[in-house]
Amino acid sequence: MTSRFPPLAREPVLVEPLPPANPPVRLVKGARIRFAPGQPTGPHRHPMSTVGVVTEGSFMFEREGEEARLIRTGDGFFEPAGRTILRFDNASATAPAEIVCYYLTDRDDRPPIEMLPGGMEAQRGEA
């Protein structure tokens, strides 16, 4: 029997090792996160590694010790457990943007993010 469809092609978009700081993965939690035009995340880190994909728009993404880079719709990203993320900001001042993020964790009650000084609170004058 011949298929009328071509074979599925798999194009790698992300390969990242899990850091030793990552808790044993026993649970994967996902979240859709929408950003307003120009909205920054601010410096932060996660107690577990996160992995995801840009589903709309584009972001300026900068892990500590690396150059900032633009990630666009369809691009994957990885935020290693315990590593500071300096920027994960909507790159457009006029259009919303969105990611789907998966948290590789060991338990449901672990907070997914730790905001660091200089984050959104400081930008609003609440620091």
Instruction: Tabulate helix, strand, coil % of the chain (nearest 5).
Output: 5, 40, 55
User: Taking 50 as the threshold, does the pLDDT of residue 115 lie above it?
Assistant: yes
Going by pLDDT thresholds of 50, 70 and 90, the confidence category of residue 38 is very high
User: Taking 70 as the threshold, does the pLDDT of residue 5 lie above it?
Assistant: yes
Give the DSSP H or E segment for 58: strand 58-63
- CATH class for domain 27-108? mainly beta
The answer to whether 46 touches 19, Cβ cutoff 8 Å, is: no
Share of the chain above pLDDT 90, in %: 89
48-64 pLDDT per residue, tens: 999 999 999 999 999 99
Going by pLDDT thresholds of 50, 70 and 90, the confidence category of residue 100 is very high
Supply the pLDDT for residue 120. Answer: 52
Global confidence as pTM: 0.88
Supply the pLDDT for residue 118. Answer: 83
Adjacency order of strands within the sheet including 114-115: 69-72, 58-63, 85-90, 44-45, 114-115
The answer to whether 98 touches 54, Cβ cutoff 8 Å, is: yes
Average pLDDT of the chain, as a whole number = 92
Supply the pLDDT for residue 87. Answer: 97
Instruction: Give the integer Cα–Cα distance in Å for 94 and 91.
Output: 9
Q: What token pair was written down for 3? A: 């298929």
Tell me the mean pLDDT in the region 76-86: 98
